[in-house]
Amino acid sequence: MTKGIKVYFIGTAGSGKSSLCGAFKTWLKSKGFDCFSVNLDPGAESISYEADLDIREWITLYDVMEEYGLGPNGAQIVCADLLAVNLPKIKKRMDQVKTNYFLIDTPGQMELFTFRSSSKEIITSLGGSAFMINIIDSLNATTPYGLTSQLMLSAITQFRFGLSALNVLGKSDLLKKEDLDRILYWAENTGALYEAAIEESREHSNPHLELGIGFLRVLEDNETFGRLIPVSSKSGEGVEDIYNVLQQTFEGGEDLDQAAPEKEEQDEYDAE
């Protein structure tokens, strides 16, 4: 059985990334599965779960602003690089833990985490089996170009880090049923999204229609389209689906409790 799968929760600010990380931790614990949560966001004022390892033990956005005389934006950039500086502490703590899943809550400013070289260094150094949960902001996905833009960002993030990924639709409970159904339909039917994008461009006289269509073709060619799992941290919708995808990816669909005897046998072997 694969040990210590690292699950990175990545999404734009306000997409529900931290809440989903907390909801998944709660679900795993309720099923008797072990996990270890890691908060890598120095700028988080509060998080909806108790982090087992919190970068704010060593750096916070406020302290960086005070020490360097920076505003919030400049301090976010410094914090992004200080994550790599503190990597040895993070790695040492995580290496001491035996768990099924490491749930890693990434910084709220997705573009900083995605495009700073320090982030690639973190993922590479932590190593092991790893997977990304890319959270699509549901309220910004109700238009063809809103959804396409976020799928492009997700694809770029996957390209940058070279990890397998799953796209989920965050805070889906906030959408009207017709909006939710339309987004899910677009995600699985590229032709429908093409038509909707063309119509949107004509309605708003968008001069960059061909660019948008080009984006869609790139996404289609690279099989970025497909099932988009609606999730809700509030209701728990979609959380079990995430677990099932992870188990299918790393364990061939075998459940963690089904793999437990293997662990017990290994423990007995170690004891001998």
Over the stretch 108-133, which tens digit does the pLDDT of each residue have?
788 888 888 888 899 999 988 999 99
Q: pLDDT tens, 2-26?
A: 468 999 999 988 889 999 999 999 9
pTM for the structure as a whole: 0.87
pLDDT > 90? residue 226: no
Domains and CATH numbers, the chain: 5-188+229-264 (3.40.50.300)
Q: How many angstroms separate the CA atoms of 150 and 48, rounded? A: 24
What angle (nearest 5°) sits at the alpha carbon of residue 255, between those of residues 28 and 50? 15
Q: pLDDT tens, 198-207?
A: 887 777 666 6
Higher pLDDT residue, 74 or 260? 74
DSSP-derived secondary structure letter, 230:
E
Contact 175, 185 (CB under 8 A): no
Q: How many angstroms separate the CA atoms of 79 and 41, rounded? A: 9
Q: How many angstroms separate the CA atoms of 35 and 48, rounded? A: 16
Whole-Å CA distances, 116 to 7, 124, 221, 224, 247: 19, 13, 27, 23, 30
Cβ atoms < 10 Å from Cβ of 261:
10
C-alpha R_g of the chain: 20
Q: pLDDT tens, 170-185?
A: 999 999 999 999 999 9
Q: How many angstroms separate the CA atoms of 90 and 38, rounded? A: 9
HSE value, Cβ hemisphere, 13 Å, CA-based, for 133? 34
Bin 253: left if φ > 0, else alpha if -120 < ψ < 50, else beta: left
Backbone angles phi, psi at 108, to 5 degrees: -65, -30
